[in-house]
Amino acid sequence: MLSSLPAAAIVAGGTDLVVRMRNGERHSYLIDVAGLSEIAGITPEEGGRLRIGAAATHGQIAADGTVRKACAGLALACSQVGSPQIRNMGTLGGNLVNASPAADSLAPLLVHNAMLALEATGGARTESLERFITGPYRTTIGKTELLCSVSVDRLEGYEEGYRRVAKRAAWAISRLSCAWALREEGGLIEDVRIAVGSCTPVPFRPSRAEDFLRGRRREGPVIAKAVEMVADEIREKSGLRPSFAYKLPVVRDLLAEELGGRSCS
Amino acid sequence: MFIGEDLDRVDVLEKVLGKARFAHDLKMEGMLFGCVVRSEKPHARIVAIDLSAAMAVPGAARILSHKDIPGQNAYGVIRKDQPLLAADRVRYVGEPVLIVLGEGEEAAREVASRVKIEYEEIAPVLDIEEARRGVRVVHDSGNLFSYKKVRKGDVEKGFAESDVIVSHTFRTAWVDHAFLETEAGIGFMDEGGRIVIKSSTQNIHYKRAEIARLLSIPEEKIRVVQATTGGGFGGKLDVTVEGFLALAVYHARRPVFMRYTREESMLSNTKRHPLHVEYRTGAKKDGALTAVKVSIVGDTGPYASYGDSVCLRAAVHATGPYEVPNVWVDSRLFYTNGPVSGAMRGFGVPQLALAHESQIDEVASLLGMDPMDVRIKNGLKRGSVTATGQHLSASAGFVETLKRIEPYWRERKRSKKASGFGLGSMYYGIGNTGVANPSRALLEVVEEGRIVLHTGACEIGQGSDTVLLQILLETLKMARAEVVLDRGDTDTSKDAGSSSASRQTYISGGAVRDGALKLKEVLEEAGYYRGRSLSDIYRSLAGQGNLFFEGFFDPPAAGLDGETGQGVPYATYAFATHMTEVEIEEPTGTCRVKKVKAAHDVGRGINPRGIKGQIYGGIAMGIGLALMEEFIPGRTTSFDTYYIPTSMDMPEVDVMVVEDEEPTGPFGAKGLGEPALIPQAASIVNAIRDATGLAVYDLPCNMERLKGLLEDKKKR
Amino acid sequence: MKRVEFTLNGKAVACDVEENELFLHTLRERLSITSVKEGCGIGECGTCTILIDNEPRYACLTLAAKVEGRDVKTVEWLGNADTLHPLQRAFISRGAVQCGFCTPAMLLVAYSLLLKNPHPTCEEIKEALSGNLCRCTGYVQIIEAIESASGKGD
């Protein structure tokens, strides 16, 4: 349908689109996908993955039993998006296509190696979240494409965490967020994934810090070195921004506290 | 007994049913929608206005300019200096230039968006230092707008005698009222050809007087009615929609409705004055304060509004609730081309409280004394002399508020390493500063056998309707069902003055009591208290033409000397102390307010549940002021860019009411609306100091600021 | 124009709306339900909260066309002057109302919460209300009213 209608837009929850329309954005058609069963639901997938329909609301994701058990950071992030009303209305798909750099779900999705499934009349494709978001509010989505679902790693047995920093206790845009998942075996870090959001133009996984941590003991000096590496990687990605005077010390201190042994799982 | 009783709010039923008619909800057949075209420049000459594209929009009805104002195009609560519609010059972003009337909101806003105004920009004065230097001026008279002084004793001698001296500079930002109902109203002409305005407002008689001057018509030809008003906090005292509606109706001869969008409200509404306070405190080693020297500099924007009041109140209250023998205060406000600053809950005193409370804590710290003890030692009480030389002879329950908090203070224990406790105290003069501000109440005996209270005192959520009724019922010793409230109509009420300066309980309450006592005498003689019915009494009184009873009260205050500020600025003061516990999240610089104990001397508590409600609301606003609220011109647009506290930001609160009865107040009552807010931000700042060792001098102390201070501390 | 059919406070309603019309406008202007307020128009204040299928949403961000076939509730559903809902009675008796502009929305959120969670903790109540601003009350008595209506507290 999208390919046949000019100047059409997809609407699910409408929480971003309607605000843009109030500010003057015009569309000749709005295609409501919120009720499409094909893009709804949260179901396990083979290969230890979980498929989350693009039309799943943040509220549904936060409440889902499997998400809470196997993607605890994602559940926590979704439970803090906007307000209860926004969580009832706003969908994961809408959040991803809007691609605000402050979107809470992005960091945990990166930690879970999120893969997006898109469809158009011409065919379907999958793309990693890293590739999909190209910049603030910019994605690779084509004009006639529909985001259908997101698939993520189930990380049972991992410790997981998510922290966000915002100007008030609820209902506030993230100034900074970080997600992580870690598995220890015999005192050593067997696997670790970290993602930082709302800091660089696109959220990212500091892979050098992750590589450094894998195989090492989970202790103070090791973590301190790792979080310094994260800060370095942030500086490399974005240069030095005015907001970094605040954000870099916070990323360091937050991650140190989180990786040092605080989890939500 | 109605005093101290939790009488249900007069208007609560319609509010919980969703039936209350706020100004937003008013509608009339055939009404036009009015909206304002506003300046996009901070300072400019208007060169040309092109309305051709605008008037071509379907649904365009009329566009009005300053040329359409038949009377005075200058209004103001104190100085008549603010144009309703800019003539040839605009002086702030958001200054009204034109009123557009359209058939419906969509059409009107479309018309407004097509108006083309050509400006010749003038370099604006946007910085307070620049304003002080005065090289560029906002008005030809120069940039110094208001200058108030307090001089008591000899400060230099006081400092010479002190053992410790503490000097710091404090800064606060612009803050928005953020009432949930934006400005709105409806205007129409009644069958008698009178202009009727119903609006969301904190005053009605003042608005009527301004409309009369604007349109050059007698006040009798105007009626102003208060619609249910969704919050005010000082932001609905100035003329907002009322002037535009009156002008529109005058010309269009059709009903006109206006409602500001949130963006428009935030852009154009008056703000809390940002103040820069240089504060110097001297004390002896036993903790006795010897001298306070304060220099206050503030940005008032381009027009007066309530600037003079803020300038003066800030000066008068600068010492805080303490007896200081030597006081020197200079309070100056300067014109800029920034937002217009005006009345906002506290009129400068919340900003000064940040300073005086921080100073007291630092003095205590230097002397190795407990901050509670320094406050008790210096606290104003009966027999004290204030900074303006006023002897407090009664109702000075400040030390009692400290004593109520004291047991919790002495036993305070950190729940976590990063938690801290702070005290914040305040005093606040009730009523307008050093000027007459009377209230009149009108009581009527009606045929149905009831008493009607006609009051012009505007209920803005603070509970004045209910408090006035309780005072009336108690004085007359009547049952609730025997009394009816008629509020907020200039046709049926006398001027009660504005709902501001926390004055309605004390002053309008006083007027109601005065009228009720007169009525009571007549009722006694007529046999009411011996069982005769009111309907019966009505018939005799009607026969004599004696159905109305007027009450009057003006606080027994006096003026202030222009050079020294000495005098009796208020007849009575409210006092309070807050003890606040915070938890600091050091990695992020987040401060969470966990618990507040709030002790308030209200003179006499009329409605305890209402008292708690005001204090909880004041604490919420104080948390916003301390930690998150900052209006940034050009960046702040709506609630997405201006955060006020949510339910999750609220601490546990314990309210303690102190009743040191005010002899001139109705049943001993004083006031509470602003005192509820004033100590909170100061106590948060002191708690942050306790938790982190860091002094905060600038508000809001948001995450960035606090993290920055924490990082600096690590480096030292 | 488009015809939308839905249930409003228990009654079947059919309404003609513009394609891009916001449900807040439909409620206030076409159906004269002025208890639903416009405090900001961008989903940042909560005064336009309504219940759709018993879940709180912002009417200012809801396209009217999306309400097709749904169950909509506004505060009028809770009660009338003769039969107040326990929540309304609690709001009255606990002092939860000051200016009243946020009140209808608060009541709806409370109603929805108690349907799902009849005995919420104080924290759960605070969280449920975290999408509704109030500038007057500081939220405390609103929370106490909800606790009281849920059977906790006195």
Tell me: the pLDDT tens digits for B465-493? 999 999 999 999 999 999 999 999 999 99
Q: Which of C31, C99, C113 to mutate to test the interface with B (most CBs of B within 10 A)?
A: C99
Rounded to an integer, what distance in angstroms lies between the CA atom of residue B629 and that of residue B623?
9
pLDDT confidence of residue A1: 64
3-state helix, strand, coil in chain C (%, to 5): 35, 20, 45
| Whether C57 and A21 lie within 8 Å, measured CB to CB | no
pLDDT confidence of residue A263: 60
pLDDT confidence of residue C142: 98
| CATH code of the region A159-259 | 3.30.390.50
| Whether B643 and A249 lie within 8 Å, measured CB to CB | no
Q: Nearest CA to CA, how far is C51 from chain B (Å)?
A: 15
Domain boundaries, chain B: 23-122+183-259, 275-433+563-715, 438-553
Q: Which of B9, B12, B13, B16 to mutate to test the interface with C (most CBs of C within 10 A)?
A: B16
| Model confidence band, residue A20 (pLDDT cutoffs 50, 70, 90) | confident
Q: Nearest CA to CA, how far is C83 from chain B (Å)?
A: 10
pLDDT tens across A178-235, in order? 999 999 998 899 999 999 999 998 999 999 999 999 999 999 999 999 999 999 999 9
Q: Nearest CA to CA, how far is C129 from chain B (Å)?
A: 6
In a domain, C81, yes or no: no
My answer on whether C66 and C128 are in the same domain is: no
pLDDT confidence of residue A253: 94
* Better pLDDT: B355 or A265: B355
Residue pairs between chains A and B whose CB atoms are closer than 8 Å: 48
Which helix (H) or strand (E) segment holds residue B509: the answer is helix B509-526
C135 reaches A (C-beta below 8 A): no
Q: Nearest CA to CA, how far is C67 from chain B (Å)?
A: 22
Q: Which of C66, C128, C130 comes nearest A171 by C-beta? A: C130
Whether the CB-CB separation of B671 and B678 falls below 8 Å is answered with no
Q: Which of A14, A86, A170 comes nearest C63 by C-beta? A: A14
pLDDT confidence of residue A2: 64
pLDDT confidence of residue A239: 84
Q: Which residues of C touch A169 (CB under 8 A)?
A: 130
Amino acid at C110: A
DSSP per-residue codes, B85-136: S-SSEE-STT-EEEEEEESSHHHHHHHHHT-EEEEEE-----SHHHHHHTSS
Which positions 126-165 of A are in contact with B (Cβ < 8 Å)? 165
Residue pairs between chains B and C whose CB atoms are closer than 8 Å: 167
Q: Which of C63, C109, C132 comes nearest A11 by C-beta? A: C63
In a domain, C6, yes or no: yes
Q: Which of B16, B21, B650 comes nearest C88 by C-beta? A: B16
Q: Which residues of B touch A167 (CB under 8 A)?
A: 628, 643, 702-703
My answer on whether C42 and C104 are in the same domain is: no
My answer on whether C58 and C112 are in the same domain is: no
pLDDT confidence of residue B158: 98
Q: Which residues of B touch C48 (CB under 8 A)?
A: none
Phi-psi region of A75 (alpha: psi -120 to 50; beta: other; left: phi over 0): alpha
B323 reaches C (C-beta below 8 A): no
Strands A42-45 and A49-53: antiparallel
C22 reaches A (C-beta below 8 A): yes
Phi, psi of A73 (to 5 degrees): -65, -40
| Whether B16 and C143 lie within 8 Å, measured CB to CB | no
Q: Which residues of B touch A175 (CB under 8 A)?
A: 703
In chain A, which residues fall in CATH 3.30.390.50? 159-259
In a domain, C43, yes or no: yes
Q: Nearest CA to CA, how far is A28 from chain C (Å)?
A: 9
Strands C49-52 and C11-17: unpaired
Rounded to an integer, what distance in angstroms lies between the CA atom of residue B250 and that of residue B263?
27
A26 reaches B (C-beta below 8 A): no
Asked whether the predicted pLDDT for residue A6 surpasses 70, the reply is: no
Chains within contact range of chain C (3+ C-beta pairs < 8 Å): A, B
In a domain, C27, yes or no: yes
Rounded to an integer, what distance in angstroms lies between the CA atom of residue A63 and that of residue A80?
12
**Which two tokens mark A195?**
């993602």
- The CATH fold of domain B23-122+183-259: Aldehyde Oxidoreductase; domain 3 (3.90.1170)
Rounded to an integer, what distance in angstroms lies between the CA atom of residue B159 and that of residue B363?
13
My answer on whether C58 and C6 are in the same domain is: yes
My answer on whether C53 and C35 are in the same domain is: yes
Low-confidence spans in chain C with pLDDT less than 50:
153-154
Phi-psi region of B178 (alpha: psi -120 to 50; beta: other; left: phi over 0): left
Least Cα distance to A263 among A4, A29, A46, A75 occurs for A75
Q: B165: which strand partners? A: B282
Domains B275-433+563-715 and B438-553 share a fold: yes
| Whether B616 and C126 lie within 8 Å, measured CB to CB | no
| Model confidence band, residue A238 (pLDDT cutoffs 50, 70, 90) | confident
Is A51 exposed, middle or buried, given 0-12, 13-18 or 19+ CB atoms closer than 10 A? middle
| Whether A167 and B586 lie within 8 Å, measured CB to CB | no
Q: Which residues of C touch A36 (CB under 8 A)?
A: none
In a domain, C154, yes or no: no
Percent of the residues in chain A that have a pLDDT greater than 70, as a whole number = 96
Q: Which of A21, A27, A89 comes nearest C57 by C-beta? A: A89
Strands C49-52 and C55-58: antiparallel
Q: How many CB atoms lie within 10 A of CB B667?
A: 21
Q: Nearest CA to CA, how far is B81 from chain C (Å)?
A: 31
Q: Nearest CA to CA, how far is B645 from chain A (Å)?
A: 7
Low-confidence spans in chain B with pLDDT less than 70:
none
My answer on whether C60 and C116 are in the same domain is: no
User: 3-class secondary structure for B426-459?
Assistant: EEEECCCCCCCCCEEEEEEEECCCEEEEEECCCC
- 0.95 surpassed by pTM: yes
CATH code, domain with C48: 3.10.20.30
Rounded to an integer, what distance in angstroms lies between the CA atom of residue B181 and that of residue C37?
8
B636 reaches A (C-beta below 8 A): no
Q: Which residues of C touch B231 (CB under 8 A)?
A: 99, 101, 135-136
| Whether A18 and C60 lie within 8 Å, measured CB to CB | yes
Q: Which of C84, C140, C143, C154 to mutate to test the interface with B (most CBs of B within 10 A)?
A: C140
My answer on whether C130 and C101 are in the same domain is: yes
A171 reaches B (C-beta below 8 A): yes
| Whether B650 and C126 lie within 8 Å, measured CB to CB | yes
Whole domain around residue C46: which residue ranges? Answer: 2-76
In chain A, which residues fall in CATH 3.30.465.10? 8-153
Q: Which residues of A touch B640 (CB under 8 A)?
A: 173
**Which two tokens mark B140?**
């030809």
Domain A8-153: which CATH class?
Answer: alpha beta
| Model confidence band, residue A10 (pLDDT cutoffs 50, 70, 90) | confident
Chain A residues within 8 A (CB-CB) of chain C? 11, 13-15, 18-19, 21-22, 27, 30, 32, 34, 82-86, 88-89, 169-171
B234 reaches C (C-beta below 8 A): no
| Whether B617 and C99 lie within 8 Å, measured CB to CB | no
Which positions 28-87 of B are in contact with A (Cβ < 8 Å)? none
Domain B438-553: which CATH class?
Answer: alpha beta
A22 reaches B (C-beta below 8 A): no
Q: Which residues of C touch B644 (CB under 8 A)?
A: 133, 135
Whether the CB-CB separation of B677 and B409 falls below 8 Å is answered with no
CATH code, domain with C97: 1.10.150.120
Report the number of distinct structural domains present in chain C. Answer: 2
Rounded to an integer, what distance in angstroms lies between the CA atom of residue B429 and that of residue B347?
11
My answer on whether C53 and C113 are in the same domain is: no
| CATH code of the region B275-433+563-715 | 3.30.365.10
Q: Which residues of A touch C49 (CB under 8 A)?
A: 85
The contacts of residue B461 (CB under 8 Å, 6+ apart) are B229, B230, B231, B232, C98, C99, C100, C136
Percent of the residues in chain B that have a pLDDT greater than 70, as a whole number = 100
My answer on whether C9 and C50 are in the same domain is: yes
Phi, psi of B608 (to 5 degrees): -55, -40
